[in-house]
Amino acid sequence: MIEIIPTKDGSHTLRNTLLNETYHSIYGAIQESTHVFINNGLEYCVHSGNKKALTILEVGFGTGLNAFLTLRKSIELNIEVEYISIEPFPVSEAIWKELNYAQGAEDKQRFIQLHQSPWNILTEINSHFHLQKIDKPILQVALPKLKFDLVYFDAFAPEKQPDMWTIQVYQHLVDAMKPGGILITYCAKGQVKRDLKSIGLQVEALPGPPGKREMTRAMKPA
């Protein structure tokens, strides 16, 4: 079962009661997504590569929060984003309609568009943002090779869903990344970093969001 719970920054997250696992940090869902995926992923990628257009792969669409924050940032940075997001267990409309991420009419409309866009079809949300949501498990998706500048790896924690944190999954993602592409995750587990290094990535530990000491950024050699 899925339930909505508040986090410490006031933004909602979801709890999967079977796994007893939340979709975001309980210290702040928006705070965590912004720190990990937007600031250390998207902004880093855009500024270090001086990019005007970006392809992003997300593992775990979930609430749509990362997609929503990326859409907003793409407008602010005046860049074009193609965003492919994988989610085998879509959140129901009854749940996503209650989430409090969007403020104001324009934002609310954008959030609804992200959720109502059709599955498995690349769809224009606006001139800055194209979205394709895919409703299959990541290993069942035939990802295009060498396509992505950035991967948001936002699976449930290794303790809760160990089959997502395997070399087979990492290699599947790396094959889909461009040389110089970045994989970003909130997870800072030693084994995860060692496994990413073992398949040739350059791995950095970065300060985590409030409540978490570290997070991980990994680059595929150019």
Binding-site ranges for ligand SAM (CB under 6 A): 23, 33, 59-60, 62-63, 65-66, 86-89, 137-138, 154-156
Q: What is the CA radius of gyration of the chain?
A: 16
In the complex, minimum distance from the CB of residue 157 to ligand SAM, in angstroms, rounded to a whole number: 8
User: Which one, 107 or 222, has the nearer CB to ligand SAM?
Assistant: 107
Which residues 6+ apart lie within 8 Å of 215 measured at CB? 35, 36, 40, 184, 185, 186, 187, 188, 205, 206, 207, 208, 209
**Residue 65 or residue 71: which is nearer to ligand SAM going by CB?**
65
Are 31 and 148 spatial neighbours (Cβ–Cβ below 8 Å)? no
Is 209 in contact with 25 (CB distance < 8 Å)? yes
Least Å distance, CB 45 to ligand SAM, is: 17
Of 142 and 202, the one with the shorter C-beta distance to ligand SAM is 142
Query: Cα separation of 33 and 130, whole Å?
Result: 20
Residue 67: count other Cβ atoms within 10 Å of its Cβ. 28
For tokens 């800055």, name the residue.
Answer: 128
Least distance in angstroms from the C-beta of 189 to ligand SAM: 15
**DSSP letters of 99-111?**
-----SHHHHHHH
Q: Which is nearer to ligand SAM, 25 or 127 (CB)?
A: 25
**Residue 177 CB, nearest approach to ligand SAM (Å):** 16
- In the complex, the smallest distance separating the C-beta of residue 179 from ligand SAM, rounded to whole angstroms, is 24
